[in-house]
Every structure is written in C-alpha cells, then in structure tokens.
Structure 1
Amino acid sequence: MIRIVLIGLWICGVALGSLYFAVWQNSATAAVSSQSKDVLDFGKTDSFSVPIILDGAVEGYIVVQLGYTLDSRVKAMVTVPVAPFINDEIFRQFYGHFSDVKDVQKVEFASVKQSVIDGVNAKFPEPLVRDLLVEQFNYITAKEIRDQNTKGLSRQAPAAP
C-alpha cells in the first residue's frame, strides 16, 4: 500500500515539475521575442513634384512617391503625420541643388534615401523612419510636358471664314 502511495506522489511531483518548467520556459521565450521583435508601420507619401530650376527657368520636374516604414513604438508618441516631413526633406534634397540637368538623371537613390531618413529622424526625439521604399521616382523635362500639353493642337488648323 505504501508503495502505491509513493508511486502516486512521484507521478504527481513529476507532472507538477514538468508543468512548472513548461510555463517558465514559455514565459521566458515570450519575453525575449517581444523585446527583439520590432513592430513597424507602413505608410506612403502622396505623389508630388520638385521643379528643377536652372538660370531662372524650369528645366524639368522630379516626380516622387515614396513608401516608408516607421517604428511603431516611436510613432505612438508622435502626434503629427510623418509624410509631410518626408516630402519636405525630399524637396530640400533636390530643389536648387543641381547645376546641370544631366546630374538629376544620374541620381543615386541610396545616398538620397539615407540623407532623407537622417534628415527626418533629426526632427524627432527618437529615430522614427526606418526605411524608404521607392514607388515612383521620375525626371520629366519641361519640353516633354510642353509637348504633351500641345499634343493635337499642331494638327488642328484654324477654320477659315
């Protein structure tokens, strides 16, 4: 009889010990994974254009639309929208910084991207923008725009009275 009671106590002890170990291991893993996992939010800017002006004349436009990832923890502390800050920084990068239109067509977006991220993050107490993703990044010359706007007008001759 004593032998059966001791076996029962042994089984209960092993079961409780394994249950305690499983709960302890699961809570330690959950704490580590919640600390190491970065939660990111995604957003995108509206499409906008930056004029390229040389010698007082508009030579073309850079048309930009970007996606961005934000640190959710920092975003929760920020009450203003982030897209206008990104638009402003892109505008600052391109407006008035080119002396030759050919330079615009050779832009290395990786360097622009990093300087935009650094410029935006400098305006907040903690780094907010994690990454920029290009949705649209085009250069359109003023001549192309004029040609597009006057398309069809050269074919139509005024009617004679």
Structure 2
Amino acid sequence: MIKLLVTGVWITVVALASVYFSIQATNTKESVEPEAEMFGGLETIRGEVTSIPVISDGAVQGYFLTRISYTVDPAKADLLTIPLPVLVMDQLYTALVGEQVIDFPSLKKFDLEAFKVLIRESLNERVGEKVFHDIIVEQIDFLSKSDIRSNMRQGRFTMKAGDPIGEVDPAPGASAPSH
C-alpha cells in the first residue's frame, strides 16, 4: 500500500513539475532586435530640384540649387494633412532664407552632415513625431549671379518663349481663327 501511495505522489510531482517547466519555457521572452531603419518599413521619396535665392546685403547674391530625397515612415506620412514635398520645400526655404543657416558669401566650409541633420530634425520637430528618418542629398550647388551672367554670355543658357495664356487678340486687320 505504501508503495502505491509513493508511486502516486511521485507521478503527481513529476506531472506538476513538467507542467510548470513547460509553462515557464513558453513564457520566456524572446530577444527581438529592432530592425535597422534602412531595412524595410520606410519609403524613399525623391524631391524636386529646388532653387532658393541667397539674399545678402539686401540683394540676391545667387541661387542655392538642391535636390533632396527623404525616407519616411509611410504610415505616419499618410496621416499628414500637408503634402510631404510642400513641407520639405517650406523647411528648406525656412532654413536657408529665413534662418540663414548657411552664410554663402563668406562660405569657407560646408558641413553636409550638419545640414542634413538640421533639415531632418526641424521637419520632425514641426510635425511632432519622427516621420523623417533620413535626408539624402542628390544634388547641391551654388550659382552666384556672376556665374549665371557668364553662362548667359557664353550661350550656355537660352531663354525660351512660353505659350500664351488665355486668348490672344489678333493683330489689327487679321481675321480671328475659326473654331
């Protein structure tokens, strides 16, 4: 009888211990490393070429030309009421014209990384969340007024006539086109 009782207690202890350890094994937290920002989940949007006037001493000294792309969190970007290209363009104008973060006439050295961080951080600060993850500079140039004039004199730049807007009055004595 005692053997039967000890065997029953032994089977109960083993069963309870196996249930306890199996529950503990399934509840262990897996160490999940966060996915790097450049791998999946982000969308890259290519920006337009932006021409920003450089104003110094009350006059336009030249033009800052840039094309930047940016990586954004698409879920958060879709919630914005202002289109992303408009927001980025406004921030470029604010930084380069309003705040004048770059002093072009006396420019000795340009810190590209600081420029990218400034644009990214100011955009994220403006929207109130981390939407912009990276700023990618595709093109960055500065054309002074003398560079532009020199190119025009050498024939590298030609002005094209645009199409007329609206109806054009026919020349006196000419008949109007029939439709």
Sort the TM-score into its range (normalised by shorter chain): 0.5 to 0.7
Correspondence for 2:69? 67
> Tell me, what secondary structure is at the counterpart of 1:122?
helix
C-alpha distance after superposition, 1:59-93 (max 9, x if no partner) = 11110100100012312322432122111112122
TM-score for the superposition, normalised by structure 1: 0.65
Establish whether residue 147 from structure 1 lines up as the match of residue 150 from structure 2: yes
1:45 to 44, 47, 56: 47
> Tell me, what secondary structure is at the counterpart of 1:102?
coil
> Tell me, what secondary structure is at the counterpart of 1:101?
coil
Looking at both structures, which has the greater relative contact order when contacts are Cα pairs under 8 Å and sequence separation is at least 6? 1
> In structure 2, what is the Cα distance between the partners aligned to 1:49 and 1:36?
36
Correspondence for 1:11? none
The question of whether the paired residues in 2 share the 8 Å contact of 1:43 and 1:67 is answered with yes
The question of whether the paired residues in 2 share the 8 Å contact of 1:93 and 1:112 is answered with no
2:105 to 101, 105, 111: 101
The question of whether the paired residues in 2 share the 8 Å contact of 1:51 and 1:60 is answered with yes
Runs of 5+ unmatched residues, structure 1: 1-24, 153-161
Q: Give, in angstroms, the shift of residue 94 of structure 1.
A: 1.5
2:124 to 121, 125, 148: 121
> In structure 1, what is the Cα distance between the partners aligned to 2:122 and 2:140?
19
Establish whether residue 86 from structure 1 lines up as the match of residue 50 from structure 2: no
Calculate percent identity across the aligned residue pairs.
24
Q: Give, in angstroms, the shift of residue 136 of structure 1.
A: 0.6
The question of whether the paired residues in 1 share the 8 Å contact of 2:54 and 2:104 is answered with no
State the 4+ residue runs in structure 1 displaced beyond 6 angstroms.
Answer: none
Q: CA RMSD in A?
A: 3.0
Distance 1:130 1:53, change over 3 A: same
* Structure whose residues are more often helix by fraction: 1
TM-score for the superposition, normalised by structure 2: 0.59
The question of whether the paired residues in 2 share the 8 Å contact of 1:66 and 1:132 is answered with yes
Runs of 5+ unmatched residues, structure 2: 1-25, 156-179
